[in-house]
């Protein structure tokens, strides 16, 4: 993660989308929470990479012995710790860590979860116990592709190789077994233009990890807003404004 990208996430500070009015339609039977629940018990120790503001860990993760959530952004972890304080949970710790320079102990975790974040497969392999499991969910190149093509930019827009393929190959090379890669298709319907814009302000879909803060460029009557209005016109249905999301899931075992 470069300094511009870190600055972007420090400004965002959290991944709480609860105030955005949208509906989600999953077209693929792959659910990271279900897989995590099936892979853990009350004695499990779990590492969550790219934890953001900790909302997913606090609301969706199972009740296990220990959870450590990490993020490269100090502001994200500050938000996560405040959310943890409000929750009253005692089995969770949040701390700053670079996923590509991990300082976690070897052979310690039963499960490592990574969501929408760069990873080092070899370092994850080292920190997992034998018979441990990696569960990864990422954003692929073709995510929101119609929107990215309209703007001629966006997350992974210029990548030669999809990140799903890169992660898959790196996980195999690290020594993992039973590696399964699943493309995940989701339709999201946003109730209003403001809801869609709120999503774009919170995520790097159109930012292409450049560190440029989108809300500095979305002003009434400028070219960006005109493009957004065109997209909305062409993609509004009875359920709302459609975004076609493309993710990928990977599950792998350390044996």
**Is 58 within 8 Å of 79 (Cβ atoms)?**
no
Res. 213 pLDDT band, cuts 50 70 90: very low
Q: Which two tokens stand for residue 110?
A: 């039963």
CATH of the domain at 67: 3.40.50.150
Question: What is the rounded CA–CA span in Å between residue 104 and residue 129?
Answer: 12
Place of tokens 């993660």: 1
Question: What is the rounded CA–CA span in Å between residue 205 and residue 201?
Answer: 9
Mean pLDDT for 246-250 is 98
Q: Which helix (H) or strand (E) is 232 found in, with range?
A: helix 223-234
Question: What is the rounded CA–CA span in Å between residue 147 and residue 4?
Answer: 23
> How many structural domains compose the chain?
1
Q: Which domain, by its residues, includes 179? A: 3-253
Q: Which two tokens stand for residue 217?
A: 């460029």
CA distances from 153 to 51, 146, 163, 189 (A): 26, 11, 16, 22
Q: Flag the least confident range among 45-49, 129-133, 226-230.
A: 226-230
**Main-chain dihedrals φ then ψ at residue 251, nearest 5 degrees:** -125, 135
CA 31 distance to own-chain centroid:
13
Single pTM value for the model: 0.87
CA quadruple 233, 237, 243, 249: dihedral, nearest 10? -160
Res. 2 pLDDT band, cuts 50 70 90: very low
The two beta strands, 109-115 and 45-49, are parallel
Res. 198 pLDDT band, cuts 50 70 90: confident
């Amino acid at each position: 993660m470069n300094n511009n990208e870190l600055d972007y996430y420090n400004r965002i500070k959290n991944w709480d989308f609860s105030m955005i009015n949208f509906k989600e339609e999953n077209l693929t039977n792959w659910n990271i929470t279900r897989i995590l629940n099936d892979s853990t018990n009350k004695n499990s120790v779990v590492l969550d990479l790219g934890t953001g503001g900790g909302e997913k860990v606090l609301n969706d993760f199972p009740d296990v012995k220990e959870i450590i959530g990490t993020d490269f952004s100090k502001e994200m972890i500050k938000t996560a710790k405040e959310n943890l304080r409000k929750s009253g949970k005692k089995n969770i710790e949040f701390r700053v860590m670079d996923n590509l320079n991990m300082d976690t102990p070897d052979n310690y975790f039963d499960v490592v979860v990574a969501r929408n974040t760069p990873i080092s497969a070899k370092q994850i392999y080292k920190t997992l116990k034998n018979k441990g499991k990696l569960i990864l969910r990422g954003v692929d190149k073709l995510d929101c592709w119609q929107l990215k093509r309209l703007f001629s930019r966006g997350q992974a827009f210029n990548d030669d190789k999809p990140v799903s393929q890169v992660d898959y190959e790196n996980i195999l090379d690290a020594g993992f077994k039973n590696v399964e890669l699943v493309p995940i298709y989701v339709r999201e319907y946003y109730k209003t233009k403001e809801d869609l814009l709120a999503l774009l302000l919170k995520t790097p879909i159109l930012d292409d990890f450049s560190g440029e803060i989108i809300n500095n460029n979305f002003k009434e009557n400028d070219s960006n807003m005109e493009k957004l209005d065109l997209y909305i016109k062409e993609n509004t249905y009875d359920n709302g404004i459609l975004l076609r999301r493309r993710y990928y899931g990977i599950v792998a075992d350390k044996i």
